[in-house]
Amino acid sequence: MGSRPTLAAILFMLAYLVSFLDRQILVLMIEPIQRDLNLTDTTFSLLHGTAFALFYTLVGLFMGRIVDNHSRIRVIGWSIALWSLATAFCGLARNFATLFVARMTVGIGEAGLTPGVFSAMSDLFRPQERARAFGIYAMGIYFGTGAAFLVGGKLVEWLEGIPPFELPILGSLFSWQLAFFIVGLPGLVLALAIVLLIPEPVRGSMDGPGNAGADDAHRAGFADFARHYRNCWRPYVGHNMGFGLHMLCAYALISWVPVIFLRNHGWGIGEIGLAMGCLLITCGPIGALLGGFLARYLTGKGMQASDVKLGALSCLGLGVTGLLAARAVMPELALVGLGGAIFFMALPGGLNASSLQTITPVQYRGQAGALFLLVGNVLGLGVGPLTVALITDYAFADQQSVGQSLQVVLILALPAAAFVLWRVRHYFNLEVAS
């Protein structure tokens, strides 16, 4: 990998890191937010998942179209700036409605990042290097979420000791609202760095001389992509649903395992943040990088569709380790399961992106990426955490049963995800896709 693509991959990874820091900091503030805004587990899940996912996914479809027609780098830069300002605005929220709108705006801003990165990275790296490059990008999820737990846990714990205070113009604020300002505003610096340091790559430049400068993208509208999708729907549906169900369980685990430690194991927020942060910044990046390296190694050994096959196996691994994290009576054993679960969450982080490029022509990659994000994040952010909350509130009617609710979701979703991915694996053979 050359210096320019490597710099781009690192900056994109940092952007992903910031995006997950901004979205996950909310999880650690569940107790003060529920107390001060009078929220139930279900309404909090609407803030954490649904408010974000609904607009992140719907706007993402339009962002995919913009990505296929305009400068990917500028789209990425403006997106980072918007969600960073919206995160800071969360610190001004005084009730459920205003916090919902702020979270919705964070989702709108973040909708432009991954479609832009999917398309741009495909023009910065050769096909055999993409799984590893996307693995670097996926590391941002775990560095960002880990930072949210490590730094955010201590930050929220410290802010909890500060009583409400008055600011000029802004009026009275709860201490936890400061956390949104602290984690939101640094993204503006990163947005500027990306726009200034990364030139726009030539579309199709890594897909052979016949695709270089593929400016037909500006003629590839929604109708064109819809026709392409209709003709190739089986691999897209299998890919999106398989990896989407994996995301559903990953988000459910990350959202509710901290609450299990809080309610069932009697841990404090600082302890939870330290433990989960350490696991996320170690097991997550290892899994994301190893997934990319394994896919490249197996492809070099002649194995076709290695990205999708590894994705199916990671679903099974996530099921076993996730159940251990959710049901273990001893907190130490639960942490062992959580470390394994984070590893298997991360393993297909670059594989879902690289396999999607295999079956998608140059001119549709922004829209294909946006559609995958729509499916994956509706399932992951919108359905996963909310389903656990609904089962806890209405099926068990006991907040101490959140671990059992999580187990139900894992048992139902992950075997189905592995089955779907395995069934469509042959569509991702390089000679078939080409």
Cα–Cα nearest to 124, from 175, 54, 73, 53: 73
Radius of gyration of the chain (CA): 21
What does the mean pLDDT of the chain come to?
A: 86
pLDDT at 161: 73
Cα–Cα nearest to 259, from 376, 136, 385: 385
164: left (phi over 0), alpha (psi -120 to 50) or beta: beta
**Predicted TM-score (pTM) of this structure:** 0.80
From residue 188, give the alpha-carbon distance in Å to each of 15, 26, 87, 99: 10, 20, 11, 21
Model confidence pLDDT, tens digit, residues 256-312: 998 899 888 888 877 887 888 899 999 999 999 999 889 989 988 888 889 999 999
Model confidence pLDDT, tens digit, residues 402-417: 999 999 999 999 999 9
From residue 98, give the alpha-carbon distance in Å to each of 40, 90, 182, 404: 16, 8, 19, 32
- Give the H or E element holding residue 383: none
pLDDT at 240 over 70: yes
> CB burial class (10 A; 0-12, 13-18, 19+) of residue 154?
middle
Model confidence pLDDT, tens digit, residues 58-103: 888 888 889 888 899 999 999 999 999 999 888 888 888 888 999 9
Residue 392 has, within 13 A of its CA and on its CB side, a CA count of: 25
> CB burial class (10 A; 0-12, 13-18, 19+) of residue 69?
middle
240 or 168, higher pLDDT: 240
Collapsed DSSP state (helix, strand, coil) of residue 365: helix
Q: Name all domains of the chain by residue range, CATH numbers in brackets.
A: 3-195+220-429 (1.20.1250.20)
Question: What average pLDDT score do residues 173-195 get?
Answer: 87
Cα–Cα nearest to 32, from 262, 264, 277, 326: 262
